[in-house]
Amino acid sequence: MLKIKKKAKPEKILLGDEVYILWQDGEESHISFFALRDACPCASCIDELTGKKTLDAESIPKDIHSLRSEYVGNYALRIYWSDSHDTGIFHFKMLRDFAKSRDFT
C-alpha cells in the first residue's frame, strides 16, 4: 500500500525577529530573515534558464526584515522585504525543507 504524505501546511506563520512557522503536524520552524531573503526563488534572484543563483548575498542588508506578508493561494507565502524586494513566492514545502536543511527547526 502506498503511503501518501500530507502536504506541508502551516497552522500559523508569525513574522517577528524571524519567520516562525507552526506546522499542522505540530513541528515548528524558525528561519532567519537574512537566510530566507538569500534563498529567494524569484526570477530576479535565480536565473530562469540555468537555475543558478544570481543574487549576491553581500547585497542583502544585514538588518533585512519583513514589512508584511500575504498568502498566495493555499500553497505559498509572499514576503515584502525591507530592501523593496517582493517578487519571491515561498512554497510551504520549500519553507519546511529549507528550515530542515539549514537546521532552523
For residues 62-96, one letter each, b for 16 or more C-beta atoms within 10 angstroms of the residue's C-beta and e for the rest, the string is: eebbbeebeeeeeebbebebeeebbebbbbbebbb
What is the phi/psi pair of residue 99, to 5°? -60, -40
Fold of 10-101: NE0471 N-terminal domain-like (3.30.2020)
Question: What tens digit of pLDDT does each residue of 28-84 get?
Answer: 999 999 999 999 999 999 999 999 999 999 999 999 999 999 999 999 999 999 999
Place of cell 517582493: 86
- pTM of the entire predicted model: 0.87
Q: Which of 25, 94, 83 is nearest to 56 (CA)?
A: 83
What are the domain boundaries of the chain?
A: 10-101
